[in-house]
């Protein structure tokens, strides 16, 4: 296997983030650090519309009539990522600027108002192509900012957000672009909700904030959430040429699949263990050098046990010293956006040297057997972290992040400006 270290590094220079606990990157991160939950009981109208009693939604207004919520969230976080990275679009070759935003469910609400003719009853509803195309937000964001490099939009269930970040990095690596915007969004959708209800995987609790309980013996499923995250990714020389600030390097990444079952996982976790091992090998990181893992951590018994087993198989004795947490305990499960939102949180954990907690973990499942950071996060100066996504359909992805270090960097100034 050729190590990615033999290629020019791909680095993260900007992050945009929104979720149920905050409208921007730093407010979301502060809430996650403090263990605040965005899960709440929904009103009767929401319950009738979407079929769920508790959720972790994002409140936002469309920026233009008929704009679907996914696009609103993507535009909001894209602007924040560009500002964070100090991107001046007028000074960058936009033909070399890629855009990779995951596919999403369409806004099918208009179907309820169709009278069978070619006209919708409400002019404010999105046109049909925005109702159904899963790449709607990718196209809208790329067109809005004039990004004319490669456009990529994967639909790989809960791994989508992570896989599109990886795909953008590969397009930079194979010289189709120098810089890219990458990420994903998620909005609660009645079809998703109906499917999860039929699977009986949605959590319930008298106190909504305590419903999501990854790795806890009393878990009973996950909570649906909303949010988005966007990254500015660049080849190192491009970032250096414009004096960018760097969060971290995408040190290694891999995706693979297991042909086990559409929703069930291999209980022996051979595939996940192999994924983690090859990702670390790609990054040239030894198991004992992994200080933090942001787990997929859905709060279902199957996922928690299989994922923890895969981590232990891959890391061996080092697993006992590795911090692992699931931020779905606060943000809910963001499905298509889970990978990108949780990668953003992992990046910020590296930046600040702080591993976020797993909330509601009051009775850790002994079958898990890992340090899942119950209830209170921990200060921990870190250089290497791993983000894992495990999705329906057998999609699995992992990204190894290396915190950016140079002579000027320390934890008092976590994002040093690098020399041009």
In sequence order, what are the residues at sequence separation of 6 or more whose Cβ sits closer than 8 angstroms to the Cβ of residue 361?
213, 214, 215, 216, 329, 372, 373, 374, 375
C-alpha dihedral sign at 136, 138, 141, 142:
negative
Judge whether residue 1 has pLDDT over 70: no
Q: What are the φ and ψ backbone dihedral angles of 23, each rounded to 5 degrees? A: -95, -5
C-alpha dihedral sign at 22, 28, 32, 33:
negative
CA distances from 129 to 5, 320, 321 (A): 42, 50, 50
Judge whether residue 225 has pLDDT over 60: yes
Instruction: Tell me which H or E stretch contains 236.
Output: helix 236-241
Decide if 4-109+128-241 and 252-403 have a common fold.
yes
Sequence ranges of the domains in the chain: 4-109+128-241, 252-403
Quote the pTM value.
Answer: 0.91
CA distances from 356 to 106, 166, 330, 376 (A): 33, 24, 11, 7
**Residue 296 among the catalytic residues:** yes
pLDDT digits (tens, 9 = 90+) for 103-153: 887 666 555 544 444 444 455 566 666 666 788 899 999 999 999 999 999
Q: How far apart are CA 346 and CA 317, in angstroms?
A: 23
CA distances from 297 to 233, 305, 324, 346 (A): 26, 10, 9, 14
Higher pLDDT, 176 or 116: 176
Q: How far apart are CA 181 and CA 139, in angstroms?
A: 12
Q: Which CATH architecture has domain 4-109+128-241?
A: 3-Layer(aba) Sandwich (3.40)
Q: Is 18 exposed, middle or buried (0-12, 13-18, 19+ CB in 10 A)?
A: buried
Highest mean pLDDT out of 2-6, 123-127, 297-301, 379-383: 379-383
**Residue 158 among the catalytic residues:** yes
Instruction: Tell me which H or E stretch contains 47.
Output: helix 44-50
DSSP 174: T
Q: Which CATH architecture has domain 252-403?
A: 3-Layer(aba) Sandwich (3.40)
Both tokens of 387, joined, read: 């983000």
Q: How far apart are CA 176 and CA 134, in angstroms?
A: 23
State the angle between helix axes of 25-34 and 338-352 in degrees (0 to 180), rounded to the nearest 10: 80
Q: How far apart are CA 230 and CA 337, in angstroms?
A: 10
Both tokens of 185, joined, read: 């969004």
- At residue 157, the pLDDT reads 74
Q: How far apart are CA 115 and CA 7, in angstroms?
A: 56
- At residue 413, the pLDDT reads 43
pLDDT digits (tens, 9 = 90+) for 261-289: 445 555 666 889 999 999 999 999 999 99
Query: One of 74, 99, 138, 158 is an active-site residue; which one?
Result: 158
Judge whether residue 67 has pLDDT over 80: yes
pLDDT digits (tens, 9 = 90+) for 53-66: 999 999 999 888 87
Q: How far apart are CA 66 and CA 2, in angstroms?
A: 47
State the angle between helix axes of 338-352 and 160-173 in degrees (0 to 180), rounded to the nearest 10: 70
pLDDT digits (tens, 9 = 90+) for 200-212: 888 899 999 999 9
Query: One of 104, 154, 296, 395 is an active-site residue; which one?
Result: 296
List beta partners, residue 47.
none
In sequence order, what are the residues at sequence separation of 6 or more whose Cβ sits closer than 8 angstroms to the Cβ of residue 339?
158, 159, 160, 161, 162, 163, 165, 184, 387, 389, 397
Both tokens of 137, joined, read: 């937000």
Question: CA nearest 309: which of 260, 268, 364, 266?
Answer: 268
As a residue count, the chain comes to 420
What is the average pLDDT score of the chain?
88
Question: CA nearest 358: which of 334, 378, 383, 385?
Answer: 378
Query: One of 104, 154, 189, 333 is an active-site residue; which one?
Result: 333
Question: CA nearest 148: which of 109, 179, 103, 189?
Answer: 179
């Amino acid at each position: 296997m050729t190590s990615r270290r033999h290629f020019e590094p791909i680095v993260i220079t900007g992050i945009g983030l929104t979720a149920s606990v905050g409208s921007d990157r730093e407010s979301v991160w502060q809430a996650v650090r403090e263990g605040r939950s965005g899960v709440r009981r929904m009103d009767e109208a929401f319950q009738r519309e979407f079929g769920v009693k508790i959720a972790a939604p994002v409140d936002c207004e469309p920026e233009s009539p008929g704009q679907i919520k996914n696009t609103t969230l993507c535009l909001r976080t894209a602007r924040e990522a560009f500002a964070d990275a100090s991107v001046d679009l007028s000074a960058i070759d936009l033909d070399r600027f890629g855009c990779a935003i995951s596919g999403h469910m369409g806004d099918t609400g208009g179907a309820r108002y169709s009278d069978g003719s070619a006209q919708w009853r409400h002019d404010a509803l999105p046109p049909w192509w925005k109702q159904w195309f899963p790449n709607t937000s990718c196209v809208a964001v790329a067109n809005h900012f004039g990004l004319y490099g490669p456009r990529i939009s994967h639909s790989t269930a809960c791994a989508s957000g992570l896989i599109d970040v990886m795909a953008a990095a590969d397009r930079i690596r194979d010289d189709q672009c120098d810089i890219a915007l990458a990420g994903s969004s998620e909005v609660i959708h009645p079809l998703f909700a109906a499917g999860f209800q039929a699977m009986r995987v949605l959590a319930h609790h008298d106190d909504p904030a305590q419903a999501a309980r990854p790795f806890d013996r009393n878990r009973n499923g996950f909570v649906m959430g909303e949010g988005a995250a966007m990254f500015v990714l660049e080849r190192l020389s491009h970032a250096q040429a414009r004096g960018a600030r760097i969060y971290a390097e995408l040190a290694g990444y891999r995706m693979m699949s297991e042909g086990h079952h559409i929703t069930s996982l291999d209980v022996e976790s051979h595939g996940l263990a192999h994924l983690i091992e090859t990702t670390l090998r790609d990054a040239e990181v030894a198991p004992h050098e992994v200080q933090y893992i942001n787990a997929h951590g859905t709060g279902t018994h199957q996922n928690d046990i299989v994922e923890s087993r895969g981590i232990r198989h891959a890391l061996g004795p080092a697993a006992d010293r590795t911090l692992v947490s699931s931020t779905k305990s606060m943000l809910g499960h963001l499905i298509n956006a889970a990978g990108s939102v949780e990668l953003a949180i992992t990046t910020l954990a590296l930046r600040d040297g702080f591993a976020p907690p797993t909330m509601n973990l009051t009775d850790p499942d002994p079958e898990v057997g890992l340090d899942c950071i119950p209830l209170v996060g921990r200060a921990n100066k870190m250089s290497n972290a791993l983000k894992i996504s495990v999705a329906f359909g057998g999609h699995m992805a992992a990204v190894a992040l290396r915190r950016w270090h140079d002579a000027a960097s320390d934890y008092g100034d976590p994002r040093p400006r690098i020399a041009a």
